[in-house]
Amino acid sequence: MRGTWPALVELATEVAKDDGCRGVLALVDSSITPQRLGEEWRGFAGALRDDVGQRMAVWQEREGVWSVVAGNGEDGDVAAIEAEFRTKHGQPSTGGRRADFGFIVTKLLAEQSWRTGEAVKVGWLMQTAGCSHQTVADAIALWGGFIERTTDRRVRLTHVPREIVERLRMRGPMARQTMRFADRSGRATGGEVYSRRLAALAGGGEGVPSFAFSGVAGVREWYPAIDLVGSPRVDVCVHGKDAGDCERLMQRLDPALRREDDLRAPADVAVHWLRQAEVEFREAGGVKVADPVECLLDLYEMRLDAQAEAFLGFMMNGGLRSA
């Protein structure tokens, strides 16, 4: 950790210069334990002004998953780390990282709880997520206090606690490898145009991966009462063999679309790569819609917190069970 002190000092110096600045130290392929990082951070933070320390965070990547290990992490930190890493190195921080099966299994349990409330077989979780029995068992154990088990090896969440929602929200950008695209050609191509073109591509064809609408369009199918006119962007979930399928779909949609890794800049389309082995999209009006958890995470990602909370409340109160 002592090798990171110069970086922390430099980071704190920059944060102290600007009251609106945040500082994030991202550690990739580091062998230092989170416990050790926490201990060293507490020693370092003690020498900082409170307002500076409150605007700093240390994130660590382990086995393809980012976690905040010290300081005050925020929702947008991981996406900012990935954008910076891609700008400098031309690839994600972990390259061909493995799927985050803990995220996937937790998402499947939450979705099942909201949609049916029924228990599912552990084997179904393994098959749908595409992971081993031990991986599923580890994910279930994480939420042991909220898990109900049956005698025929089925499990279900008794309810979806806020802790699960926040964990999905925090890990979503990395687990889904969200990619943002924008048309910087100056043309007035709007979201409605992209939505119509995507609907036309929904029938498949050569080079078109399986995809579904998510975001605002998806939420409207699950929760028609959403209080929102228009949409800041178009969101789609792609179930493909690799992240390249997401970029190929965007090229089919509009060759003028380019990756936009600056989170401060607006995006016309956001694409989320679903890493689970099996996906069942909902058919709605001739197009496919992604699962409600994906749609919820998109609302949070777009900072549509009021609409996200309304949709969450709808699901918490059993609204999807009659949808």
Query: What's the pLDDT tens digit per position in 33-86?
Result: 777 777 878 878 888 888 888 888 888 776 556 677 788 877 677 777 766 665
Domains in the chain, number: 3
**Residues 180, 317 share a domain:** yes
What is the pLDDT, as a whole number, of residue 4?
66
**Cα separation values, 258 from 31, 163, 242, 244, 306, Å:** 36, 35, 18, 13, 30
User: How far is the C-alpha of 321 from the C-alpha of 323, rounded, in Å?
Assistant: 6
What is the pLDDT, as a whole number, of residue 39?
80
What is the pLDDT, as a whole number, of residue 179?
87
Give domain status of residue 90, yes or no.
no
**Residues 256, 193 share a domain:** yes
Among residues 172, 191, 213, the one where a domain terminates is 172
Show the tokens assigned to 193: 């145009």
Over residues 97-106, the mean pLDDT reads 85
Instruction: Judge whether residue 97 has pLDDT over 70.
Output: no
**Residues 259, 131 share a domain:** no
Helix or strand (DSSP H, E) at 220: helix 215-222
**Residues 153, 275 share a domain:** no
Give domain status of residue 51, yes or no.
yes
Give domain status of residue 84, yes or no.
no
**Residues 116, 14 share a domain:** no
**Residues 69, 165 share a domain:** no
User: How far is the C-alpha of 49 from the C-alpha of 53, rounded, in Å?
Assistant: 6
Give domain status of residue 88, yes or no.
no
In sequence order, the 6+-apart residues with CB closer than 8 A to the CB of 94 are: 28, 61, 64
Q: How confident is the model at residue 102 (pLDDT cuts 50, 70, 90)?
A: very high
CATH number reported for the structural domain that contains residue 188 in this entry: 3.30.460
**Residues 285, 186 share a domain:** yes
User: How far is the C-alpha of 291 from the C-alpha of 107, rounded, in Å?
Assistant: 10
Give domain status of residue 95, yes or no.
no
**Cα separation values, 8 from 14, 22, 61, 69, Å:** 10, 12, 17, 14
Which of 59-68, 74-83, 159-168, 228-237 tops mean pLDDT? 159-168
Among residues 74, 92, 125, the one where a domain terminates is 74
**Residues 225, 272 share a domain:** yes
Instruction: Judge whether residue 90 has pLDDT over 50.
Output: no
Classified as helix, coil or strand, 214 is: coil
CATH number reported for the structural domain that contains residue 126 in this entry: 1.10.10.10
**Residues 115, 55 share a domain:** no
What is the pLDDT, as a whole number, of residue 2?
47
Show the tokens assigned to 308: 């996200």
What is the pLDDT, as a whole number, of residue 112?
96
Classify strands 179-183 and 257-259 as parallel, antiparallel or unpaired.
Answer: antiparallel
Find out whether 258 and 265 touch, Cβ atoms under 8 Å. no
**Residues 68, 15 share a domain:** yes
**Residues 228, 110 share a domain:** no
Which of 59-68, 133-142, 200-209, 237-246 tops mean pLDDT? 133-142
What is the pLDDT, as a whole number, of residue 229?
82
How does pLDDT run across 240-285, given as a tens digit for each residue? 877 788 888 998 999 889 888 777 788 999 999 898 999 999 988 7
What is the pLDDT, as a whole number, of residue 27?
80
Instruction: Judge whether residue 96 has pLDDT over 60.
Output: no
What is the pLDDT, as a whole number, of residue 62?
64
What is the pLDDT, as a whole number, of residue 10?
83
Give domain status of residue 183, yes or no.
yes
* Number of neighbouring beta carbons within 10 Å of residue 262: 14
Among residues 172, 196, 226, the one where a domain terminates is 172
Nearest to 69 by CA among 118, 1, 20, 21: 1
**Residues 140, 157 share a domain:** yes
User: Whole-number mean pLDDT of the chain?
Assistant: 85
Domain range for 313 is: 175-322
Q: How confident is the model at residue 173 (pLDDT cuts 50, 70, 90)?
A: confident
What is the pLDDT, as a whole number, of residue 92?
52
Give domain status of residue 86, yes or no.
no
Instruction: Judge whether residue 89 has pLDDT over 50.
Output: no
